Amino acid sequence: MPNIKVVDMTGKEVGQLTLSDKVFGASVNEAVLHTAVRAYLMNQRQGTQSTLTRTEVSGGGRKPWKQKGTGHARQGSTRAPQWTHGGVALGPKPRSYRVSLSKSVKRTALFSALSSKVAGNELVVIDNITAGEYKTKAMVAMLEAVGAARKTLIVLPEVNNFVIKSCANIEGVKTTQWNTINVYDILNCDTLIVAKDAVAKIEEVYAR
């Protein structure tokens, strides 16, 4: 089982924590990680792009000239795709890009993402992440104390508006709760900071 030191908000070591092998010590499955990240990005797409076909643009109700004898190519409407102000041929229409993953694939991807952070020494466990007021300076000091990199994901055990709002103005820092973490955010950060209570809740749910 992987062991990791637990620090406080000043960066001082206050203990050791043994992590679950199943959640934080799993083998990293890159193929599943790719599948999970692709599904996440696809599911962010709204799919609301739309173009007007020749039946939807206004005008063009009259044949522009007679069929024969003009020397022109035959035309039935000025709203055909080859005309200026004509409709779009085979253009995009609203659609769903949603990709569904099975529960086992989601779990494997999450375990792989968390385990990759442990293996890369990019996981920091803090005994208690708290703030008594809206103070960005306090959060910046915490990040500097624990040696957080430019892009950091902070995982909290529960909603704490003081911490969330205090981190909102820090570039590259994102906050979330233990039950809303996703593979993309974990892989997209350079440092993963997790509160000790959040680690316990993640293992309680996923290590069974």
For the segment 27-41, what is each residue's pLDDT rounded down to a tens digit?
A: 999 999 999 999 999
Q: How far apart are CA 112 and CA 92, in angstroms?
A: 36
pLDDT, mean over the chain: 93
Report the percentage of the chain scoring pLDDT > 70: 100
| Mean local confidence (pLDDT), 16-26 | 91
Least confident residue range of 111-120, 143-152, 184-193 = 143-152
pLDDT value, residue 61: 86
Domains of the chain, start order:
3-39+100-206 (3.40.1370.10), 46-96 (no CATH)
**CA dihedral defined by 122, 171, 161, 142, rounded to 10 degrees?**
50
Q: Order of strands, edge to edge, in the sheet holding 191-195?
A: 13-18, 3-7, 123-126, 191-195, 152-156, 173-177
SS3 assignment for 78-132: CCCCCCCCCCCCCCCCCCCCCCCCCHHHHHHHHHHHHHHHHHCCCEEEECCCCCC
- The tokens describing 155, both together, are 């995982």
| pLDDT tens sequence across 40-84 | 999 999 999 999 999 999 988 889 999 999 999 999 999 999 999
